[in-house]
Structure 1
Amino acid sequence: MTVRVTERDDSHKSHEAVAAGTRLWDVYQQDLLVGIFHEESQADAYRQELEAQEQQHHA
């Protein structure tokens, strides 16, 4: 399974979020968006949780 965290670029934010300087982090699982977070640490924790669940599922 592929889980990745990327910072959302301005072209994928609302005009209000861009104007406010808001940073958003997207979590993708198998190329599907599964979460959006305001903090990179929260996005990374969610990625780790998804990876752990997948490992338990295959065990």
Structure 2
Amino acid sequence: MTVIVTERDDSHKSHESVASGVQMWDVHQQGLLVGVFHNESDALRYKEELELGEKQRVAS
């Protein structure tokens, strides 16, 4: 399973978010968007949860 965290670029934000300087982080699992977060640490925590859940599922 591939989980990737990337910072959302301005072309995928609202004009208000861009004007306010809001940062957003996307979490993609196997190419699909599965989460959007306002700070990187929350996005990375979610990534870890997804990876742990996958490891537990495979181990079962």
| TM-score calculated relative to the size of structure 1 | 0.99
Which stretches in structure 1 are left out of the alignment for 5+ residues?
none
Runs of 4+ in structure 1 deviating by more than 6 angstroms, as ranges, are: none
Paired position in structure 2 for 1:2: 2
Report how many residues are paired. 59
Residue correspondence of structure 1 range 1-59 to structure 2 within 5 A: 1-59=1-59
How far residue 33 of structure 1 moved from its aligned partner, in angstroms, is 0.3
The amino acid that maps onto 2:49 is E
In angstroms, what is the RMSD of aligned CA positions?
0.3
How high is the sequence identity, in percent, across the aligned residues? Answer: 66
TM-score, normalising length from structure 2? Answer: 0.97
